[in-house]
Structure 1
Amino acid sequence: MPMGGGTFTVQNKILPGSYINFVGYANAATLGARGTAALPLELDWGPEGQIYTLEAGEFNQTALEVFGHDATAAELLLIREALKRCSTLLVYRVNAGGSKAGATVGGMTVTARWGGTRGNDIKVALLANGSSDVDVVTYLDGAETDRQTVAKSGGAADLKANDFVSFGTAETLTAAAATALTGGTNGTVNTAAYTAWLTALEVESFNAVGYPGTDAAVKALVDAFVKRLRDEDGRKVVGVLYQYTTADSIGMLSVKNGVKLADGTVLTGDKAVAWVTGATAGAEVNESLTNTAYDGAVDVDVKYTKGQYEAAIQAGEFVFYADSGKARVLSDINTRTTFGGGVSEDWTSNRVVRVMDGWANDVARIFGERYLGTQTNSDTGRALFKADLVALAKEYEGIDAISGFVPDDITVLQGSGKRDVSVSCALTPNDSMEKLYMTVTVN
């Protein structure tokens, strides 16, 4: 049988196979896929000045060539933590702009592909291969990563840059022992670097963005960025920051503490932002992270009393608690703590927000793909649009994201202008069970 199989929530499976759900007939409108997170990271190697799209299924195979380290290396810890829960990670190296390591080997200049201290762990050797050729060998941490055989005379022009170095020109190449590249440095990390990251990120599609650091100015930048995307651009993304309850927003999570991994690694709350960002991006519209175990964690880094946990919930903090050798999410909540003006306490639940955000994103996508500029704004065209919205709502109801929906909950009318469509919609998002109140009468 094919390796893939089972049921599906959205059409985002990777393996070939049959994914079958039994449902009644509905319109072709479907839920959009989730699972893309974004993080700015300090790395000692890798692409600079750009967003690098990393797929979870490819990380083990591409980590060395892209980031200069094996996938298990401590330098890539936060990438691993984020990918525990999301399918795609948008990585931006905020300490770009450093010097590239280099050396002259056998009469030829060799330069590291990227700036960064990892370049200092590269060596290049020119090994005699017969009387007229040399093998140009690139090593990283003593392991061979590339070998090319060229002529001693004029052969430098035939050398091709590899994942780690590029080669200069030389009329004649001479044999030389493995020579270390030197002078590689990491770039400066400052507010300007994070501003550049957000500028690059703005044109990308993602579900959640996190900043795994403590700088107050950067946290304010991310908060303003997320609020602008949500409120002005209509892009329902979510942000994750460390101890930033001042956001007071359904679109911002504030991580209070961190965890201890099984191998002894301690991830403080600012670093746990990576996992929370990935988990938030990967959570479906019908999923809550309440009581979810942090993958691979055996304890929390800071424990609190019951009263302190209660205060954390009331303050809108996303906090972990220890539970029999695991670290679990106490409650999947955001930082919203003020209510009124149509905002209820139910909106503190990130599952409820995911339903609302998912609906907003899905409706915008469907309208853009199937109606914008192509469908006549007539009774017939509006009826088709309503049918798609009803079908979408039925999908949400089918996965228990909403309940009690009837088609009359949606009305689609012509707006004030001939090109305007006015939609009114009533939805009742569902949430997960969190509190049990039981009365037992004993006779």
Structure 2
Amino acid sequence: MAGSYTPGEKKVRPGAYYHIGKTGTGDTAGAVSGVTAVLFRADFGPLGAAVELSSDEDYTDTFGDALTTDAIAQAVAGGAKTIVAVRVGTGGTAATIDLKSSGESPAAAVTLTAKYPGAKPLTCTVRKTLADESVKECIIYSGTKQVEKVEFEAGAGEAGALVKAFAASKNFIATAKTGQTAKELADVSQTLFTAGTNPTVNNGAYSDALELVEPFEINTLCVDTEDNAVHLLVQSFMSRMMDVGSLMTAVVAEKKDAALDDRMAHAAAFNDERMMYVLNASAQYGDTVLDGYQTAARLAGLIGATSASSSLTHTVINGFSGLGEPLSNTQIIKAEKKGCIVLSMNKSGQVWIDSAINTLVTPPADRDEGWKKIRRTKTRYELIRRCNTTNDNMVGKVDNDNAGRAAIISALQTIVDEMVAESKLVSGTVALNPAYIPNGDSAWFQIDVIDKDSAEHIYTDFLFRFATTDSE
């Protein structure tokens, strides 16, 4: 993975390194698109691991639908094609149930234990199948939803057969009690598990969850909380990831019960192109009112999936039918000056993004005004990613001579030209960096581009005259 470097710095490890600068006074690797990381709480599912899910998969099969798993649903509704799902928390206990043997002296024969901690209510049914009485089935439910089903041979040795049937289970472990392997099992119907307990969730748990995202190439990240302290952890993570060459952005929000001015202040305090803040996140979505993290997740999915050739300014949020906190023109202007994404209503009564900006209010010396805009930041991150990937693939594969450096320039120029054709860049050139002389195993290159922007402020002068003929 490419890492960042300070001009003049020489790295110890072989690899590709990048630096971001600005030029002017005005404001063949492919693109990674539609990948959103979601940090959430659940009452079941893998803990201490990042699970990659496609938008076509039913996340409830893995994590259920309790607590804040709806953040995944909102990210997918926004357009995310791939979800890097991370269940947040530490500790907790797993649900268990003892299945007893049949006969005159029933005793605990098999213990079923959930592989993951959590308070998800579970029940178990053991019975002969309707189709074949020589086969039994063990079905585990959560409510009316089937979580898992296995079949095993009926008759003597059922306990051992059930243990073998669960050997490949991704959700449960079956263990036979001592001396019970040969026993038959008593039938049960919807018998409750002894409930487990949910993991503890605190700032440390969110920090641990963020670490699990690190190996993945993602576009956007969201968390299931409105806690500003966690949002600051996310910002710190974004910064650290950029240092190691992983370019991503995060979307956060607070609920409308937080003071509006406080929310604006939190957004402005980020002052970071990697952080996006949805100010008025309360919105009607079907029969549900979304707020805070839910709307942030929706926009994280939308932003991550939108091509860098498009702006999200005045993009309608599908399914949103109204706002729980519509803002006045004065409030909107004030908020956007502080780097807030504001949701507003268009003339057709649809909810849309008023201006697709991030929280960068005062750019540092190495950033221009273009970094304030989501589209241009996406374009620049995409260019850097694609060039870094190409550079990584060429490290150690070409000589550091005129021919080798020409090969690197050609490969990078191809990416620039492709992005021009994709309507992401206006133009761009790749050349050796004139500030440094190639030497030994080090060579420096400069990529100078003009990235595209959208027409977002359209000014029209209307000229009228008193005369009613064309002669004047």
**Residues 258, 268 of structure 1: 8 Å contact kept:** yes
Q: Could you say if the C-alpha distance between residues 174 and 321 of structure 1 is closer, same or farther in structure 2, counting changes exceeding 3 Å?
A: same
Q: Percent identity at matched positions?
A: 22
**1:235 equivalent in alignment to 2:228:** no
For the residue of structure 2 that corresponds to 1:309, the secondary structure is helix
Q: Distance in 2 between matches of 1:393 and 1:55?
A: 30
Give the CA deviation at 1:79: 1.0
Q: Distance in 1 between matches of 2:455 and 2:133?
A: 77
Aligned 1:43-442 pairs, distance under 5 A: 43-57=42-56, 59-60=57-58, 63-69=59-65, 76-84=69-77, 85-95=79-89, 97-106=91-100, 107=108, 108-118=110-120, 120-127=121-128, 134-144=136-146, 145-159=148-162, 160-161=165-166, 162-169=169-176, 170-171=180-181, 172-178=183-189, 179-230=191-242, 232-242=243-253, 243=263, 244-245=266-267, 246-323=269-346, 324-339=348-363, 341-369=365-393, 371-405=394-428, 407=429, 410-411=431-432, 415-442=437-464
Q: TM-score normalized by structure 1?
A: 0.84
Unaligned runs of 5+ in 1: 1-28
The residue identity in structure 2 corresponding to 1:433 is: A
Q: Distance in 1 between matches of 2:290 and 2:71?
A: 9
For the residue of structure 2 that corresponds to 1:328, the secondary structure is strand
Number of residue pairs matched by the alignment: 404
Q: Distance in 2 between matches of 1:272 and 1:95?
A: 22
Give the CA deviation at 1:270: 2.8
For the residue of structure 2 that corresponds to 1:183, the secondary structure is coil
Give the CA deviation at 1:419: 1.1
Give the CA deviation at 1:259: 4.2
For the residue of structure 2 that corresponds to 1:185, the secondary structure is coil
**Residues 133, 154 of structure 2: 8 Å contact kept:** no
Q: Could you say if the C-alpha distance between residues 128 and 66 of structure 1 is closer, same or farther in structure 2, counting changes exceeding 3 Å?
A: closer
Q: Distance in 2 between matches of 1:288 and 1:428?
A: 16
Give the CA deviation at 1:343: 2.5
Give the CA deviation at 1:75: 6.0
Give the CA deviation at 1:164: 4.4
For the residue of structure 2 that corresponds to 1:139, the secondary structure is strand
Q: Distance in 2 between matches of 1:182 and 1:429?
A: 59
Q: Deviations over 1:48-107 (max 9, x none)?
A: 1100001112x23xx3431235xxx88642211101211111111113532211122223
Give the CA deviation at 1:439: 0.3
Q: Distance in 2 between matches of 1:387 and 1:143?
A: 56
Q: Deviations over 1:89-126 (max 9, x none)?
A: 111111353221112222322222322122x2332324
Q: Could you say if the C-alpha distance between residues 139 and 94 of structure 1 is closer, same or farther in structure 2, counting changes exceeding 3 Å?
A: same
Q: Distance in 2 between matches of 1:234 and 1:422?
A: 17
Give the CA deviation at 1:336: 0.8
Q: Deviations over 1:389-429 (max 9, x none)?
A: 22111111112211144x4x634677453211111222111
For the residue of structure 2 that corresponds to 1:78, the secondary structure is helix
Give the CA deviation at 1:132: 7.7
Q: Deviations over 1:297-341 (max 9, x none)?
A: 111221110000001110001121123342211111111111352
Q: Distance in 2 between matches of 1:33 and 1:262?
A: 29
RMSD: 2.4
Q: Could you say if the C-alpha distance between residues 396 and 134 of structure 1 is closer, same or farther in structure 2, counting changes exceeding 3 Å?
A: closer
**Residues 123, 140 of structure 1: 8 Å contact kept:** no
The residue identity in structure 1 corresponding to 2:388 is: A
Q: TM-score normalized by structure 2?
A: 0.79
The residue identity in structure 1 corresponding to 2:91 is: G
Give the CA deviation at 1:199: 1.6
The residue identity in structure 2 corresponding to 1:51 is: A
For the residue of structure 2 that corresponds to 1:426, the secondary structure is strand
Give the CA deviation at 1:208: 1.5
**Residues 37, 207 of structure 1: 8 Å contact kept:** yes
Q: Could you say if the C-alpha distance between residues 442 and 410 of structure 1 is closer, same or farther in structure 2, counting changes exceeding 3 Å?
A: farther
Q: Deviations over 1:191-220 (max 9, x none)?
A: 111111112112222121122312232111
Q: Deviations over 1:137-162 (max 9, x none)?
A: 33332455414132443222222224
The residue identity in structure 1 corresponding to 2:385 is: N
Q: Distance in 2 between matches of 1:94 and 1:221?
A: 14
**Residues 43, 95 of structure 1: 8 Å contact kept:** no
Report what 1:15 is aligned to: none
Question: Which of 418-427 and 360-369 deviates more?
Answer: 418-427
**Residues 356, 374 of structure 2: 8 Å contact kept:** yes
Q: Could you say if the C-alpha distance between residues 272 and 149 of structure 1 is closer, same or farther in structure 2, counting changes exceeding 3 Å?
A: same
Give the CA deviation at 1:131: 8.9
For the residue of structure 2 that corresponds to 1:174, the secondary structure is coil
